[in-house]
Chain A
Amino acid sequence: MNDSAGLMNVFVVCFAAAFTGNILLTTFLGMCSFLAVSREVKTAMGLGMAVVFVMTCTTVLNWMLYWWVLVPLHIEFYRFILFIIVIAAFVQFVEMVVERYSPPLYYALGIFLPLITVNCAILGTSLFMVIREYRFGETVGYGFGSGLGWMLAIVAMAGMRQKMAVDRIPKGLQGPGITLIAAGLMALGFVGFTGVLQAR
């Protein structure tokens, strides 16, 4: 495969990860923070951007760990525990650095970082990256795309919830009830992308 086809492939993977195979809406990973932090567009945006950053970096880090260390040593099955450790350590480290050197960035994104450590979508992305045997470039695209898709979903959801906050909703459905229904409808909407492209 020549270079331009390779680059093309990266974009395809990225696009597919963000839309057709949106990690949140097709696999329902990362639901807890999706429901908890989607009350306001501004905070959802902050969390979303933090997820994009962390997902891209940890998927790449875990790719290197997997292909350069675990595979040569034939200890692939240790990826479950090692991926989690890498994610947790990376998030902690980034939090400390951002908090120290860029307070504005910390207040905008950094405070969401602890939430992300336990976000299963992050681990999910790293594990899918292995199953689908992406190469390095594709991994970058996949991590970034998945994060972008997650952010898209949570920001859209926050927009809806801001509107719904002033709507008259039957008592029993207020709060999590209507949010889950809206998430389900949104997932149906994203199914519409399926024909456009299929992630490998």
Chain B
Amino acid sequence: MNLVLIVLVVSVIAAVLAAVLVFADTYINNYGECEIDVNEGTRTYTVKGGTSLLGALTDQKLFIPSACGGRGTCGYCKVKVIDGGGPVLPTEDGFLSPEEKKENVRLSCQVKVRGNIKIRIPDDLLSVREFTCVCSRIRELTYDIREFRFTLEEPDSITFVPGQYVQLLSPVYAGSSEEVYRAYSISSNPADTAAIELVIRLVPGGICTTYCFEHLKEGSPVRFNGPYGEFRMSDTDAPMIMIAGGSGMAPFNSILHQMKSTGCTRTAVYFFGARKVRDLFYIDEMRAFEKELPNFTFIPVLSEPQGEQWDGETGLVTEAVQRHFNDASGHEAYLCGSPGMIDASIVVLKKLGVPEDRIYYDKFS
């Protein structure tokens, strides 16, 4: 009796409120068709307004880097919004430097498409595609680093500049309830366009790396998008200092392949930091590059060689760099690896005279 009445009343109240919201969503939240103009008419898209700019572009298969899935926490999804973006929101504030604000840089996941909008993005991003592929080989490189080879299916070839990275999709699996994308530098030869190889280090408890190490098998389907990134070899002749640790090896392997195939004679010294002998990998490959490239030297550096058979360099990788150079002012430096290692290396390189604008790096954070 009374119970029925109660249920009825509560339902009616909820239904009325829901109806009001549905009404508002269809009539008030309807921004009609909006036009997104990319790089002054290079591309134009007509989209339904009311969504985030990042989402609208992804729907159009234009991929802007994003590591947090549009929650405004990674700061990767920056684009220049020339017109129609509205003022900067507090959610973006922390990610934008004063210069970027002056140049109308915005986080595309926070900008909502409410009307026609004009944006500018690096031309590289226009060639970013989504790839479906199959994991065709997994190789154990060290106890916590593996090499993954992905053979492309659709599209069936990729063009990238050595040093660039892709964003690998970690799907929903037992232990992770969300799809996330993580950045991994391509380690393979750019001439090998039918596949890419990644060198991935297991981060204990990490979403994507746990997926790669425990769930991804040879034969599994894989998706990624890319290529992204400005990290690459410059086109000068300046001698190069390369510094990497752990999976930071990846982009250098690709760069060395490219140097080999273009017959590059630039001087390059590559310092690779590791703790123990068991953390070293690709040693044979590096020794082969030393033979094939006239001016390339590979210097592995172990920080904890105690009790091991090791007659190479020891200590921190930055110490080895300091022992090797008195003055490096004419050099360019290329760094890849953990933020800690990169920050320490930058300090040392600046002390050795390398100008800051010639220190290039990708922080694996």
Is B87 in contact with A78, judged by CB distance below 8 angstroms? no
Taking CB atoms, residues of chain B closer than 8 Å to A132 are none
| Partner pick for B17 among A74, A86, A96, CB 8 A cutoff | A86
Is B9 in contact with A69, judged by CB distance below 8 angstroms? yes
Is A82 in contact with B87, judged by CB distance below 8 angstroms? no
Chain B: which residue is nearest A69 at the CB level?
Answer: B9
CA distance A10 to B29 in the complex (A): 37
Is B89 in contact with A111, judged by CB distance below 8 angstroms? yes
Is B21 in contact with A93, judged by CB distance below 8 angstroms? yes
A137, chain B: closest CB distance, angstroms: 25
Q: Is the interface of A mostly helix, strand, loop or mixed?
A: helix
Residue A97 at the chain B interface, CB threshold 8 Å? yes
* In the complex, chain B residues 1-30 whose Cβ is within 8 Å of any chain A Cβ: 2, 5-6, 9-10, 13-14, 17-18, 20-21, 24-25, 28-29
Given contacts A82-B10, A96-B25, A96-B28, contact A73 B87 (CB under 8 A): no
Taking CB atoms, residues of chain A closer than 8 Å to B10 are 75, 78, 81-82
Binary interface encoding of chain B residues 61-75 relative to chain A, with 1 for a CB under 8 A from any of its CBs, else 0: 000000000000000
CA distance A73 to B9 in the complex (A): 9
* In the complex, chain A residues 64-119 whose Cβ is within 8 Å of any chain B Cβ: 65, 69, 73-75, 78, 81-82, 85-86, 89, 92-93, 96-97, 99-100, 103, 107, 111
Chain A: which residue is nearest B30 at the CB level?
Answer: A100
| Partner pick for A85 among B13, B24, B25, B86, CB 8 A cutoff | B13
Is A69 in contact with B13, judged by CB distance below 8 angstroms? yes
Q: A85-B13, A97-B28 are in contact. List 15 more A-B contacts (CB 8 A).
A: A43-B90, A73-B5, A73-B6, A73-B9, A85-B14, A86-B17, A89-B18, A89-B21, A96-B24, A96-B28, A99-B114, A100-B29, A103-B114, A107-B87, A111-B89
Can you list 17 A-B contacts (CB < 8 A)?
Answer: A65-B13, A69-B13, A73-B6, A75-B9, A75-B10, A78-B6, A85-B17, A86-B17, A89-B21, A92-B21, A93-B20, A96-B24, A97-B28, A99-B114, A107-B86, A107-B89, A111-B91
